[in-house]
Structure 1
Amino acid sequence: MGKVTGFMEYKRQSQHTRDPGERIKDWDDYTIPLTEEEVQEQGARCMDCGVPTCHTGMEIENGTSGCPVYHLIPEWNDLVYRGQWREALKKEHEMNNFPEFTGYTCPAPCEGACVLGINEPPVAIRTVERSIIDKGFAEGWVQPKPPKQRTGKHVAVVGSGPAGLAAADQLNKAGHNVTVYERDDRPGGLLTYGIPEAKLPYHIVERRIQLLKDEGITFVTNTKIGEDITADKLREDNDAVILCTGATQHRDIPAEGSHLNGVHYAMDFLHSNTKSLLDSDYEDGEYISAEGKNVVVIGGGDTGTDCIATSMRHGCKNLTQFDIYRKRGDERDVEANPWPQWPIVHRDEYGHKEAAAVFGKDPRAYGVMTTRFVGDDDGNLKEVHTVEVESKKEKDGRRIRKEIPGTEQVWPAELVFLAIGFSGPEQSLIEQFGVETTDWSTVKAEHEDYRTNVDGVFSAGDMRRGQSLVVWAINEGRGVARECDRYLMGSTVLP
């Protein structure tokens, strides 16, 4: 695939980026697209692998390896190299309903499983993927394709994140009448309100939503199933119901003072920021502002990075991110973390680079655990107390963290954002539908089957599997649509 000697002739090149110190002055996309010629060179780096592993998603050691939607990566890399962009777009859409969502947000486990990546920088797969879909929309190749006939069956999809959208799209293609319910005022779930504009501009989500509407899908926003419409009513009005509300139950931090004013969940910060930005360009003041404040972000993942980027655009006074893990090396540990596992290495993400550009250093403090929050007499946060920790392996194989005496530290802070993940889905809707749950509070339904214990009720995405990647949500949305179609029709043509 690609040019036979391309991997030897061309160096890896991912998306260009705008200057970190300049881009924090606005909410525009922080990346700059490659030229067509540059993208074609990246496609040319794809090798004619005997057994390509980039496109086969699997979980190894609790991490994702390869692409969970089984993207036809070698095929569209080759087509791009040959300048056959429209054919590449068709191949992209065969396995992924929303390549723009993954192209903008996915950490690209496909690249971690790239054969070239064993001893060279891997193919810039995500860059090629995004370039294909961006060109497809720019050229007007992505057009509504409503089904030619309807089955007369009605399906309700609860939740409009990537799993719900993928399920709705597939079921609509099969000819069913699909209504998507969303409790927020805009569809998209965390794609809309959980990822900053600079990383995933809302118009990218909005144009796909409009396409789905033009194809016949109905969206009902500002509606809480279980409150505005009961579970019984929804089941009565539909032939099947799919629950895809995500895993949005915040994980708390076991530290004294977490109730203080100024301690917020990361998603509350990101949600209010984007809503106020889209609604009024901040004129309504309905958001948590980091302007002029000392900010601490607790949690080292993507959500924490998004909190950094947002705080930098607000104009925070100072910023520190606490990472419970020690700083990783620049190269993978080939014994503990071999290919094709996702490489566990040190990464400087877009928010880190922005903070470093302003404050002159990496904003992260590694191996740090929060012990308590301290406030003033009015209950407002003023400082965070921490201690350094190290991970120790017990005789039974368990790993525990032990505090290192003498490493206690006090950090001034008026704002803290808790970006330590989610504990599972919210339970009120689950209880009203009467579906069984697992020991981890997720909906009990097998992967590739998706049926709950309640007849005609299915579940997929983070609500079923727990907090995960956008690409896994699309995988599950496609899968639950297939099984729902089989339930409705007795057989299915959906993949």
Structure 2
Amino acid sequence: MGKPTGFMEIERKTPPKRDPKERVNDWKEYQLTPPEEEVQAQASRCMDCGIPFCQAGTNMPGSNEIGCPVYNLIPEWNDLVYKGHWKEALARLHKTNNFPEFTGRVCPAPCEGSCTVAIDTEPVTIKSIELQIVEKGFREGWIKAKQPLRRTGKKVAVIGSGPAGLAAAAQLNRAGHEVIVYEKEDRIGGLLTYGIPDVKLPYETVMRRIHLLEEEGVTFKTGVDIGTTIRWDELRQSVDGVILCTGAQVPRGVEGAPGYHANGIEYAMNFLTQNTKALLNHHLRNNDYISAKDKDVIVIGGGDTGVDCITTSVRHGAKSITQFDINTEKDEVRGEEDAWPLFPMTYKQEEGQKEAEAVYGKDPRVYQWLTTEFLTDNCGNLIGLKAVQADTVYENGKKERKPISGTEQVWEADLILLAIGFTGPERNLLEQMGVNMTKHGTVDAAYGDYATTQTGVFAAGDNRRGQSLVVWAIHEGREAARECDRYLTGSTILP
């Protein structure tokens, strides 16, 4: 695959991005399109490695991920791009991934960590090549709506329009079923629309794909909260099958810390959702969103959602931004615990952190800080927090945070954003349905089968597996659609 000596002759080069200082003044996408010849040169670095771990899509027990969860045929479409066969590369890409324009923007690219070239040098730029393939497909008009050849007469309800729901809907429609997607928000897309800032994944990009699905026959209904707007028993009687793709939306809180009721403490997803709604509705001209303007902002949580809060706060015009990461600062090289082909847990700066550094003069991250108390004025308004540095240890198989004596500190803040993950799906609908839950608070549906304890009802994505990646949601949506198709027809044509 590719050029046999490409990985030895050509250095890794990622696509250009807009200058951080310039782009923080607007909400436009920060990625730029590289020249085609540059993309082809990068694709040539994909070697004929014999065993493409990049497309393995698995986990090793007790470790992080290996390869691509949707099993993208990476060496095949890299070779096609290198040879200039872009349309054929697009067909290969769409064979395993319904939405490469999403994953090409927001996936952390476990495939690159498992690239054979990454054993002792920089991996192939798989993620950016994927994005350029699909975007060229849209520019050239190669991506068009395709109606199924026949209709089965079966009707399926997909509850939730995030990546899992959209993937399930696309696949079920392809099999010929009538598909109705129910979304409780006012716009389609789930976390793709309201959980990821426009600068990373523009709303227009999401809607471009939604319009194609509509042309192919999928029906979308917004503002419908199944379990409230429509009772569960009413919906179930009107369809032949159901796929639950409601996500894991209950945020993890800080109820154990004194002062957690203070005015000025907000959940990250609430902050991000309000911002995107206001941006799309009136470009932030009204005051119907949580603003970070002129505020000392502390983001608690070192993951992607925390970075998205930084991205948004910088554009609001925050006075200062600090990101608490409970973990130690990562090394720049792999350790034994994440050796190839595992995903490398190494130091890197995300785009939002680069923007904060460009504006405020330093990386916003501080490490090993554990919040112990939130501080308020006499009116209950947030004025700061107390924190202590802590070591992370494992005792009897459980993770514990051990405070380090003498490190206590007070931090000023008038806006604190909690980005410390989610505990599971919302329970109202699930209780109406009577589906069994696991001890972790997720829907009880086995991986690979996806069937819940209610006949004809399947679950996919974060509500089944817990908080995870967009690419895993797409993978589960596709597979749940396959099992639902098998239930409806006795066999399946879906992969």
Could you say which TM-score interval applies, normalised by the shorter chain? over 0.9
- Provide Cα deviations, 1:19-57, integer angstroms capped at 9, x if missing partner: 111110000111112110110011000010111100010
| CA distance in 2 between partners of 1:397 and 1:98 (Å) | 38
| CA distance in 2 between partners of 1:185 and 1:151 (Å) | 30
> Which residue number corresponds to residue 286 of structure 1?
288
SS in 2 for 1:32: coil
- The one-letter amino acid paired with 2:127 is R
| CA distance in 2 between partners of 1:161 and 1:321 (Å) | 27
Give the C-alpha shift of residue 62 in structure 1.
Answer: 4.2
> Which residue number corresponds to residue 468 of structure 1?
468
Asked if structure 2 preserves the Cα contact closer than 8 Å seen for 1:452 and 1:458, the reply is: yes
Counterpart mapping for 1:341-360 below 5 A: 341-360=342-361
Give the C-alpha shift of residue 283 in structure 1.
Answer: 2.1
- Provide Cα deviations, 1:326-346, integer angstroms capped at 9, x if missing partner: 11111111x222111111111
| CA distance in 1 between partners of 2:378 and 2:200 (Å) | 39
Counterpart mapping for 1:19-98 below 5 A: 19-60=19-60, 61-98=62-99
Asked if structure 2 preserves the Cα contact closer than 8 Å seen for 1:43 and 1:77, the reply is: yes
| CA distance in 2 between partners of 1:143 and 1:9 (Å) | 37
Give the C-alpha shift of residue 118 in structure 1.
Answer: 0.6
| CA distance in 2 between partners of 1:105 and 1:34 (Å) | 18
Structure 1: tracts of 5 or more residues without a match: none
| CA distance in 1 between partners of 2:282 and 2:64 (Å) | 40
| CA distance in 2 between partners of 1:241 and 1:349 (Å) | 38
| CA distance in 1 between partners of 2:469 and 2:66 (Å) | 12
SS in 1 for 2:54: coil
- Provide Cα deviations, 1:289-323, integer angstroms capped at 9, x if missing partner: 00000000000000000000100000000010000
| CA distance in 2 between partners of 1:153 and 1:379 (Å) | 55
> Which residue number corresponds to residue 200 of structure 2?
199
State the TM-score, normalized to the length of structure 2: 0.98
> Which residue number corresponds to residue 310 of structure 1?
312
| CA distance in 2 between partners of 1:243 and 1:203 (Å) | 25
| Greater than 4 Å deviation, 4+ residue runs | none
| CA distance in 2 between partners of 1:393 and 1:291 (Å) | 40
Counterpart mapping for 1:77-476 below 5 A: 77-253=78-254, 254-333=256-335, 335-394=336-395, 396-476=396-476
Give the C-alpha shift of residue 258 in structure 1.
Answer: 1.2
- Provide Cα deviations, 1:118-153, integer angstroms capped at 9, x if missing partner: 101000000000000011011111000011211100
- The one-letter amino acid paired with 2:160 is G
| CA distance in 1 between partners of 2:48 and 2:241 (Å) | 44
State the TM-score, normalized to the length of structure 1: 0.98
- Provide Cα deviations, 1:173-209, integer angstroms capped at 9, x if missing partner: 0000000000001100000000001010111101000
Give the C-alpha shift of residue 97 in structure 1.
Answer: 0.5
SS in 2 for 1:54: helix
- Provide Cα deviations, 1:405-464, integer angstroms capped at 9, x if missing partner: 111111110100000000011111111111100001100001110111111111111011
| CA distance in 2 between partners of 1:420 and 1:74 (Å) | 36
Asked if structure 2 preserves the Cα contact closer than 8 Å seen for 1:234 and 1:241, the reply is: no
- Provide Cα deviations, 1:99-130, integer angstroms capped at 9, x if missing partner: 01100100000001111001010000000000
Number of equivalent positions = 493
Give the C-alpha shift of residue 397 in structure 1.
Answer: 4.9
- The one-letter amino acid paired with 1:200 is L
Percent identity between matched residues is: 58
| CA distance in 2 between partners of 1:272 and 1:81 (Å) | 43
SS in 2 for 1:16: coil
> Which residue number corresponds to residue 479 of structure 2?
479
Give the C-alpha shift of residue 358 in structure 1.
Answer: 1.2
- The one-letter amino acid paired with 1:263 is I
Give the C-alpha shift of residue 399 in structure 1.
Answer: 4.0
Give the C-alpha shift of residue 380 in structure 1.
Answer: 0.8
Structure 2: tracts of 5 or more residues without a match: none
| CA distance in 2 between partners of 1:35 and 1:173 (Å) | 34
| CA distance in 1 between partners of 2:375 and 2:398 (Å) | 32
- The one-letter amino acid paired with 1:308 is I
Give the C-alpha shift of residue 393 in structure 1.
Answer: 4.0
